[in-house]
Amino acid sequence: MWVGSHPCPIWALSWLIPCPVCNPPPGSRSPCLHPDPSSRLPYLNPTWQHRLEEQKQKLCHRNELASSDRCTAALLELSDELEDRIGQGVYSVPGGYQRFLDDRQHMVERYWQVPGKGVKAEEVLQEFLQAKEAVAQSILQTDEALMEKEKEMAAERARAEAAEREQQVLKQKEAELQQKLEDQERSYQENLRQLETKLEDERKKLLEEQGKMLDQKLKEQEALLREGFREEAGRLESQIRHLQQQNEEIRKPSWIQTALGVLTDVATVMLPGFIGKAAGAVSNFVRRLF
C-alpha cells in the first residue's frame, strides 16, 4: 500500500514539517507560499531527520512486502493452468518440453500485463521461475528420453517394414515359382494326354496296317501252298506268326503306357513346342518299335 498519493515516503512525510520560510505561527491557517515539500528537508533538525529515515524504511519495507505479495498471488493464479497440465502429463510426450516453454512464456507475458505489481515484480518472477526450474528440467529429461525412445521405435518400425517388404518379395517369388511349376505340371499332363491320344490313333492305324499285311501274307502263303511251293510257304509262316504276335502286343492295354513311358524319358518333352514335334514323330517312333 502506498502512503498518500505519491510513492516516495520522504515526499509524503515532508508535508508534516512546518515551512521554515513562511514560518506561520502555531494554529495559523495561512496558506504556505512554498508548496514544494522537498524545500523543507534541509531545515529539519537531526531528530526529525532520524524519524523521517525510520518512517521511510518502514514504508519501503511495507511497499516491498505489498509488491511481493501482489506479484506472488498473481503468479500463483496465472500458473494454475500450467500446474494442471503438468499434473495431467500434457508435457510427458515427445516434444513436450518445447510446449512447456511456450506455455510458460505465455504465462510470463500475462504476468507483465497485471497492473500494480510494484518494485518486486522482476525479483519475484525470477524467484518463481527458479523455484520451478527442477520441474522444467524433469520435463526436459522426460522429453529427451521419449524422443530417444521414439527414434528407436521409428528405427525398429523401419526395420520391421523392410523385413516385411522382403518377406512380401519372397512370398511373391514363391507364388510365381509355384504358379510356374503348376503351369509346367498342367502343360506336362496336357502333353501326356495328347501323346496318349496320338498313340491310341497310331495303334488303331498300326493294327489296321498290320491286319492288312497279315491278310496279304496269309493269301500269299495259301497261293504258294496251292502251287506246291511248301518251302517258300514255310518261310512266310514265321513272318505271319511275327505279325500275329505284334498284333497281340499292340492290342494289350499296357502297350500305350509302355510306349508313353519311353517317350516321356526324352528330356525334350518339357520344352515348349515339343507336342507339335512329338505328334508328328510318334508314327515314326511307333513303327521303329516294331
Residue carrying C-alpha cell 518502514: 58
Q: For each of the domains in the chain, give its residue range(s) and CATH number, in order of start.
A: 9-22+32-131 (1.20.1000.10), 189-289 (no CATH)
Predicted confidence at residue 24, as pLDDT, reads 53
> 3-class DSSP state for residue 26?
coil
Task: Kindly give the residue spans of alpha helices, DSSP state H, lying in the chain.
Answer: 9-14, 46-78, 80-87, 96-112, 121-131, 133-227, 230-251, 254-264, 274-289
Amino acid identity at 160:
A
Predicted confidence at residue 200, as pLDDT, reads 81
How many degrees, rounded to 5, is the angle at CA 35 between CA 31 and CA 39? 130
Q: What is the mean pLDDT of the chain?
A: 77
Predicted confidence at residue 22, as pLDDT, reads 52
* pLDDT score of 53 more than 80: no
**What's the pLDDT tens digit per position in 108-158?**
999 999 998 888 899 999 999 999 999 999 999 999 999 998 889 999 999
Q: Residues 99-107: what's their mean pLDDT?
A: 94
Q: At what angle do helices 254-264 and 230-251 cross, to 10 degrees?
A: 80
Nearest CA among 281, 263, 260, 283 for reference residue 204: 283
Predicted confidence at residue 140, as pLDDT, reads 93
**What's the pLDDT tens digit per position in 69-85?**
999 999 999 999 999 99
Greater pLDDT, 188 or 3? 188
**What's the pLDDT tens digit per position in 214-268?**
888 788 878 878 888 878 877 878 888 888 888 787 777 777 777 766 666 654 4
Nearest CA among 146, 137, 140, 136 for reference residue 94: 146
**What's the pLDDT tens digit per position in 12-34?**
444 444 555 455 555 554 445 44
Distances (CA, A) of 59 to 22, 55, 116, 209: 29, 6, 17, 142
Predicted confidence at residue 229, as pLDDT, reads 80
Helix/strand/coil (H, E, C) string of 168-201?
HHHHHHHHHHHHHHHHHHHHHHHHHHHHHHHHHH
> What is the spatial distance between Cα 86 and Cα 252, in angstroms, rounded to a whole number?
95
* pLDDT score of 171 more than 90: yes
Q: How many CB atoms lie within 10 A of CB 271?
A: 12
